[in-house]
Amino acid sequence: MVKIYLFSFLLFLSAGLFAQNKLNDNMFLEKLPNGLDVLVIEDNTVPLATIMITCKNGAYTETPKFNGLSHLYEHMFFKANKDYPSQDEFLNRVGELGIRFNGSTSFENVNYYFTLPAYNLKAGLKFMNSAIRYPKFDEKEMEKENVVVDGEFQRQESNPGFALNNAMEHHLWGDLYSRKNAIGDHQVIRTATPALMDSIKNKYYFPNNSLLTVAGDVKHEDVFKDVEKIYGNWAASGFDPFQKWPIPEFKPLEKTDYFIVESELTKVPLIMFQWHGPDTRNDVPATYAADIFSYIINQNGSKLNKELVQSGLATHINIGYLTLRHVGPIILSVAPNPTKVKECLAELKKQIAQWDMDDYLTDEQIETAKVKLEVKKAREEEVTTDFVQTISFWWSAASLDYFEGYAANMQKIGKAELQAYVRKYIKDKPYCAGMLINASLKEKILPQEFFKAN
Amino acid sequence: MKKYILTIIVLIAALAGAQAQSETTSFDVDGIKVIFKPTKKNIVNVRMYFRAGVFNYPPEKAGIENFAIEAATQCGTKKYPGNEFKDAAEKYSILVSGSSTLDYGFTQINCMKKYFASAWDLFSEAIMNPTFNDAEVQLLRNKLISRTKGLQSVPDSRLDQLLMQNGFEGTPYASEPDGTEETLNALTAADIRDYYNSILNKNQVFLVVVGNVDKDELISKVRASFSAMPVKPYNPPEYQVPAFNDNKLLVEKRDISTNYIGAIMNSPRFTNPDFVPFRIGIGVFSGFLFRQLRTNLHLSYAQGAHVEPQMMPYTEMYVSTTNPKDAVHAMIQMLKRIRQFTLSERGLNEVKSSFITSNYMQQQSSAAIAASLGEAEILGGWQYEENLPAAVDKISVDDITRTLNKYIIGVRWSYLGDAGLANDAADAFKERVN
């Protein structure tokens, strides 16, 4: 069964999703003359190899006309190409090599990977080369796949959180909604043509806009030699796609914006606050502070947790910051006790107003947050087939240099930096606040009377 | 052709190697069985399994085991009252959790090796000295109710519930291991304390430890922490596995963008010699569904099939689609085809090769290894998990065909979505595979 992951729902995941440390001794990086970054991660604990290609593409490159087509392109990668001219031949090769494959499309990257027995690595590298460089975009296959991709969209819509998440993206990003909406638009997906796929390929699918990661039971010297032979003649584009087709800047929020989303799909209410946070082009230090801050607020002993969860006003809280190159969102989600929603909201606002006070965060909490980030890194590295995904994210959202320096830079963050982060991005700054609620609870608690900025 | 022969040779070597690399051992420490797998990585996972599950309590107490084991890890202990337990775990980012499912419950810790001593202290406290503080139990109850409502809201998890209700009606498997709002509200702190004490029994538990841990140190920790655990008689329940020899449909209406359809069918028990070839055969069938429903007919994004090796095992297949009639008909056609299909020797080797990849992908984290060893021990013995690659290597094409024909007979369908479209597909749901 093939699952294609979309990262739209990262919004609901834990804080500081991709916090990392320096490159380890088992990691080796080279750049081919054509601009292809090649990263090898050696881990011989199981006899597998994973090959991943990451391309800087995704929602942020999409105008409304292309909204959802980075994701459709990702699906078309696993179909016919020059060397395997039908879907059946492609899948037969998958079987021959013992491959488990998958891909993901997110805000700022698209990636594709094969995991296979390590003894098939060289054949796998050639197979990946055929798929990434020579896709056919057969019209009949596309007509079928448009429906399949839309089916993935329909599954997301069927989940209770989708309505709130989608409304939040509209409120938060306004006219540039498509640039943060990886799943796309039904009509665009259903009517997509091979010409639109070619357009994406000719803008973004070049070695100088890609990272090739090879991880597992491999030797880096051998991998670099094989990659040079197989991918060395992949011609560079000769241009930087982000200079030629710049990503438009997201306009800062002008005012705080409260809204209520009614849905019968949810049985429990959910409150979500989001702010425009820092990004890796303009304010790198604040991205580190954002991760530490999130890991403090989410602690059991934090003031927010005590006043909301331990008091019984909420059953769950979580704050996170998603590191991105183009405005990472700060996301606070709260599952209020259905009988105390109004009191929960009032306490939440009261707590946020205190987030930059001298006694809100303790030195012990800051140190605990750093330990938690260290352990998180160890857990991410434990599963190599997943770790390549983490690396892929950092390469596109920041850089491998950022990833390498993460641990050292994290140590520089103290209370002053955390307060500066809160004051610059959260406290007294405009934000969007949404509530997801079903009709019967809405009628009972009348949130329209209190779910307001003031 | 030459290359193909080479692939097969390498494949066989890899399967044999997988068996040879086994380092798992088991031993007894003061009456507690310990299953230990040393690893090289930095993360340690330890689990105390309780042989219990839904057969161990009546339907009106649904959720009591999950509530009790989770409360043991979240509602304070003698040494760490109230929130001190959670704060202590957080200091070193030690994950401590408890949960329960159909056949068993378990408490686990997951930590970096350098924090193992602190993690073990919390682990032993949670198991031996939980206090079930009233106020903390009430907070946890609210969380669990919120979680069960969330599970009912998510279509995939709701479909799983419907599948169990339809397939296992009249058996304990039809009740929810997580409980419902009604059953969770009726349970008192005293109820869950008493239940927990009833399963805290050397004859009912075993320990799985996976990580870069010294064996002697482990033995001394087990002895120091658990020698005082009560010893009581334990009689495992008798499992009468239902036979799915007819078709039956359960429909729940929900106004959503697509329709979620699942079915359960027979499966051999985990310890039955038919299990491994049948599991491989269902893997082939899942590939059939992908090619036919997604690639050829573009009826669905998500479809597949797998075996659920419970004490009362079953096979599950599923699809989400806006065209239930054609999708269900196509699934039945694929079932008919797989019953008549004879895999080629080359195809068999490809399936085995794919198995190597999937199997090793699940052997990367200490938590995943502990989970598979623990479940295998519940179902008949951890050695079955260790010996799986060798068992796969031995199966033949005939084994696969024979077992698929033996077990794929009736189809118990469950459906979540547009009831009108379910009605349109009524004939397809009734189609027989034999």
Q: From the list A97, A152, A371, which residue is nearest B93 (CB)?
A: A371
A353 and B CB contact within 8 Å: no
Residue B5 within a domain:
no
Asked whether residue B236 is assigned to any structural domain, the reply reads: no
Which residue of A96, A268, A382 is in closest CB contact with B150?
A268
Residues B210 and B291 grouped into a single domain: no
Confidence (pLDDT) at B20: 35
- Contact between B364 and A383 using a beta-carbon 8 Å cutoff: yes
Helix axes A384-397, A363-382, angle to 10 degrees: 120
Q: What is the β-pairing status of strands A210-216 and A37-42?
A: parallel
Decide if A158 and B260 are in contact by the 8 Å CB cutoff: yes
Q: Is A244's Cβ below 8 Å from some Cβ in B?
A: no
Q: Quick one: pLDDT at residue A39?
A: 97
Confidence of residue B353 (pLDDT cuts 50, 70, 90): confident
Q: Which residue do the tokens 């994290």 mark? A: A410
What is the per-residue pLDDT for A20?
A: 37
Q: In terms of Cα–Cα distance, which of B90, B2, B40 is closest to A384?
A: B40
- The beta-carbon neighbor of B360 closest among A46, A120, A155 is A46
Instruction: Flag whether residue A2 sits within 8 Å of chain B, measured between CB atoms.
Output: yes
Give the mean pLDDT of chain A: 93
| A273, β-bridge pairs | A332, A433
CB contact under 8 A, B320 and A151: yes
pLDDT for res A111: 97
Q: How many domains does chain B have?
A: 2
In this structure, is residue B390 part of a structural domain?
A: yes
The pLDDT assigned to B9 comes to 38
> Is it the case that residue A8 has pLDDT exceeding 90?
no
Partners of B347 on chain A (C-beta within 8 Å) are 95
pLDDT in tens, A377-395: 999 999 999 999 999 999 9
pLDDT of residue A320: 97
Q: Whole-model pTM above 0.90?
A: yes
Statement to judge: residues B293 and B402 lie in one domain: yes
The whole-angstrom distance between A173's CA and the closest CA on chain B is: 25
Closest residue in B to A269 (Cα–Cα)? B146
- Per-residue pLDDT reduced to its tens digit, B27-67: 999 999 999 999 988 999 999 999 999 999 999 999 999 99
Tens of pLDDT, residues A290-309: 999 999 999 999 999 999 99
Nearest-Cα residue of chain B relative to residue A337: B142
Closest approach of B227 to chain A, Cα-based (Å): 31
Residue A91 with chain B: CB contacts under 8 Å: 291, 295
pLDDT in tens, B228-263: 999 999 999 999 999 999 999 999 999 999 999 999
With beta carbons under 8 A apart, name residues in chain A contacting B301. 4, 148-149, 151-152, 154-155
Region B212-221 average pLDDT: 96
Residue of chain A whose alpha carbon sits nearest to that of B43: A379
Q: B208 near B175, Cβ under 8 Å?
A: no
- Residue in this structure with the two tokens 């991918």, named with its chain if needed: A231
**B372 & B422 share domain:** yes
Cβ–Cβ gap B290/A2 under 8 Å: yes
In a domain? residue B366:
yes
User: Are B272 and B355 within one domain?
Assistant: yes
Contacts of A383 in chain B (CB under 8 A): 364-365, 368
Q: How far is A379 from chain B (nearest CA, A)?
A: 7
Structure tokens at A67: 């909204």
* Dihedral, B133, B134, B139, B145 alpha carbons, nearest 10: 110
Q: What residues form DSSP beta bridges with B414?
A: B250, B262
At B356 the pLDDT is 81
Q: Coil, helix or strand for B307?
A: strand
The answer to whether residue B194 is domain-embedded is yes
| Cβ separation A117–B86 shorter than 8 A | no
Do residue B172 and residue B259 come from a single domain?
Answer: no
CB contact under 8 A, B301 and A149: yes
Q: Which range has the worst mean pLDDT, A148-157, A191-200, A399-408, B255-264?
A: A399-408
Instruction: Give B351 to chain A, closest Cα distance, Å.
Output: 7
**Residue B273: which pLDDT band, with cuts at 50, 70 and 90?**
very high
Q: Are strands B248-253 and B412-417 parallel, antiparallel or unpaired?
A: parallel
Residues of A in Cβ contact (< 8 Å) with B287? 95
B224 has pLDDT over 50? yes
What is the tens place of the pLDDT at every residue in A25-62? 899 999 999 999 999 999 999 999 999 999 999 999 99
The answer to whether the CB of A314 falls within 8 A of the CB of A343 is no
Nearest CA in chain A to B360: A46
Integer angstrom CA distances of residue A288 from A69, A370, A420, B120: 32, 11, 12, 32
Please give the structure tokens belonging to residue A413. Answer: 């963050």
Instruction: Based on the fold, state whether residues B302 and B352 are members of the same structural domain.
Output: yes
The CA distance from B318 to the nearest CA of chain A, in Å, is: 10
Counting one residue from chain A and one from chain B, the pairs whose CB atoms sit within 8 A come to: 178
Question: B262 vs chain A: nearest CA distance in angstroms?
Answer: 15
> What are residue B261's DSSP bridge partners?
B319, B415
B27 shares its domain with B159: yes
B373-391: per-residue pLDDT in tens? Answer: 999 999 999 999 989 989 9
Alpha-carbon span A301 to A66, nearest angstrom = 45
Q: Tell me how close the Cα of B9 comes to any Cα of chain A, in angstroms.
A: 11
Could you tell me the CATH number of the domain that includes residue B112?
3.30.830.10
Condensed to tens digits (0 to 9), the pLDDT of residues B79-127 reads: 999 899 999 999 999 999 999 999 999 999 999 999 999 999 999 999 9
Q: Is the pLDDT of residue A149 over 70?
A: yes
The interface predicted TM-score (ipTM) is 0.91
The pLDDT of residue B355: 85
Domain edge (last residue) among B162, B192, B226? B226
Residue A149 sits at the chain B interface (C-beta within 8 Å): yes
Q: Does one domain contain both B178 and B283?
A: no
Residue of B nearest to A154 (CA): B257
Contact B41 A382 (CB under 8 A): yes
Q: How far is A368 from chain B (nearest CA, A)?
A: 5
The answer for residues whose C-beta is within 8 angstroms of residue A367's C-beta and 6 or more apart is: none
CB contact under 8 A, B255 and A264: yes
Chain B positions in Cβ-Cβ contact with residue A310 (cut-off 8 Å): 83, 139
Q: What count of other Cβ atoms lies within 10 Å of the Cβ of residue A2?
A: 16
B313 is a domain residue: yes
Asked if A99 and B42 come within 8 Å (Cβ–Cβ), the reply is: no
Which of B191, B226, B261 lies at the terminal end of a domain, its last residue?
Answer: B226
Can you give the pLDDT at residue A196? 97
In chain A, what percentage of residues exceed pLDDT 90? 92
The whole-angstrom distance between B172's CA and the closest CA on chain A is: 26
Question: Whole-number mean pLDDT of chain B?
Answer: 93
Looking at the structure, do residues B185 and B265 belong to the same domain, yes or no?
no
B25-29 and B95-100 as β-strands: parallel, antiparallel, unpaired? unpaired
Q: Is residue B242 part of a domain?
A: no
**C-alpha–C-alpha distance, residues B69 and B60, integer Å:** 18
User: What integer is the mean pLDDT of A265-293?
Assistant: 97
- Residue A11 is predicted with a pLDDT of 33
Do both B214 and B90 map to the same domain?
yes
Q: Which among B42, B91, B357 is the nearest to A116, CB-wise? A: B357
A120 near B CB under 8 A: yes
Q: Is the pLDDT of residue B19 over 80?
A: no
Residue B272 shares a structural domain with residue B135: no
Domain that holds residue B374: 249-429
Q: Is residue B9 part of a domain?
A: no
Q: Examine the domain organization and report whether B425 and B292 are in the same domain.
A: yes
